[in-house]
């Protein structure tokens, strides 16, 4: 994890440290019990990111095979008591990348750009109700208002359009509106996205999932849509997966691709397990994904 994000952390003139004692990150006198404080003197956070003044910004915990759930719960409780942002990841998110950016790098960008977003709101540089959307941060040399390194969805849709046009399924500039998509989330920051497009009489589907444990979101929780900003990374992943499904189906392997009926069944099951709709898009001819209800 350290090597994956050290360059991104340095971009914001911040510092990153490995295996930092919990008591050196939080004020143990503010913890609810003496036992919790004692544990903080003994335990360590895997990664701690600090600002340029060495003030802790957030911590990252890797939930690998050696992690003890009881110890994890203690650290979660400490993070909540100290209002310390904590992000838990597992091996599925290590070096998980798209367009040259990994999820952990995206997480660092999200945190520090969120901090800048809060500053701009406080100084009146933007309306207080302006939503926090990562793709709204443009490249320094942006050529248009959509030129953002954090827009994962549209480049993936461009790839899908090329595949569909080569196969003769799409011919016009707005055919991509025939794709339906949705992303669902749960309060523990598990996000699942689905996308679907018609291929003649059949339907090709894509799926992507990221699981981020967030016992405390810190400053991100204060931003409009700050929590769901982490889910934006799924936007491109699900369309990329849809591209793979389309190519597989066009090559005659549709029988092993993700089935539309299975997607609808999973969406219903997710609804029953506490997931709700974050956002969804569909056109008049796009396949139904039976959108979940908003909370």
pLDDT in tens, 211-241: 888 888 888 887 777 777 888 899 999 999 9
Query: What's the whole-number mean pLDDT along residues 198-219?
Result: 89
The answer to whether residue 201 scores a pLDDT higher than 90 is no
Q: Is the pLDDT confidence value at 113 over 60? A: yes
Residue 253 pLDDT: 76
pLDDT at position 186 is 86
β-pairing verdict for 190-199 and 180-186: antiparallel
Q: What is the mean pLDDT of residues 114-126?
A: 88
* pLDDT confidence band for 78 (50 / 70 / 90): very high
Residue range 90-96: mean pLDDT, rounded? 89
| pLDDT (0 to 100) of residue 6 | 94
Q: Does the pLDDT at position 56 exceed 80?
A: yes
pLDDT, position 242? 96
Query: Average pLDDT over the chain, rounded to whole?
Result: 88
Query: For 229-282, what is each residue's pLDDT tens digit?
Result: 888 899 999 999 999 999 999 988 767 788 898 999 999 999 999 899 988 888
pTM of the predicted protein model: 0.88
Average pLDDT over residues 92-101: 90
Q: Looking at residue 58, what is its pLDDT?
A: 94
Question: Residue 22: what pLDDT?
Answer: 93
How high is the pLDDT of residue 244? 95
pLDDT exceeds cutoff 60 at 293 = no
Confidence label for 291 from pLDDT (cuts 50, 70 and 90): low
The answer on pLDDT for 88 being more than 60 is yes
DSSP bridge pairs for 16 = 49
In this structure, of 109-118, 145-154, 196-205, the range with the lowest mean pLDDT score is: 145-154
pLDDT digits (tens, 9 = 90+) for 128-171: 888 888 888 887 777 777 788 898 999 999 999 999 999 999 99
């Amino acid at each position: 994890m350290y090597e994956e994000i050290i360059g991104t952390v340095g971009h914001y003139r911040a510092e990153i440290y490995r295996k930092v004692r919990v008591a050196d990150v939080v004020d143990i006198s503010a913890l609810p019990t003496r036992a919790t404080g004692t544990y903080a003197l003994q335990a360590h956070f895997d990664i701690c990111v600090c600002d340029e003044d060495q003030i802790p910004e957030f911590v990252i915990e890797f939930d690998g095979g050696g992690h003890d759930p009881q110890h994890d719960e203690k650290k979660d409780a400490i993070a909540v008591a100290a209002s310390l942002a904590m992000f838990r990841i597992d091996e599925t998110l290590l070096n998980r990348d798209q367009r040259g950016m990994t999820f952990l790098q995206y997480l660092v960008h999200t945190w520090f750009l969120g901090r800048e977003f809060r500053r701009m709101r406080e100084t009146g540089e933007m309306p207080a109700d302006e939503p926090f959307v990562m793709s709204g941060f443009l490249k320094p040399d942006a050529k248009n208002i959509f030129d953002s390194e954090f827009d994962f969805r549209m480049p993936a849709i461009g790839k899908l359009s090329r595949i569909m046009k080569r196969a003769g399924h799409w011919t016009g500039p707005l055919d991509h509106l025939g794709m339906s998509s949705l992303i669902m989330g749960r309060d523990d920051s598990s996000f699942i996205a689905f996308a679907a497009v018609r291929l003649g009489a059949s339907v090709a589907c894509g799926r992507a999932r990221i699981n981020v444990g967030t016992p405390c979101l810190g400053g991100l929780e204060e931003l409009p849509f700050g929590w769901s900003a982490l889910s934006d990374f799924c936007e491109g992943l699900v369309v990329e997966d849809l591209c793979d499904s389309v190519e597989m189906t066009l090559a005659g392997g549709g029988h092993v691709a993700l089935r539309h009926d299975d997607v609808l069944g999973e969406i219903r099951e997710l609804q029953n397990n506490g997931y709700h709709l974050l956002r969804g898009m569909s056109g008049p001819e796009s396949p139904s994904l039976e959108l979940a209800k908003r909370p």
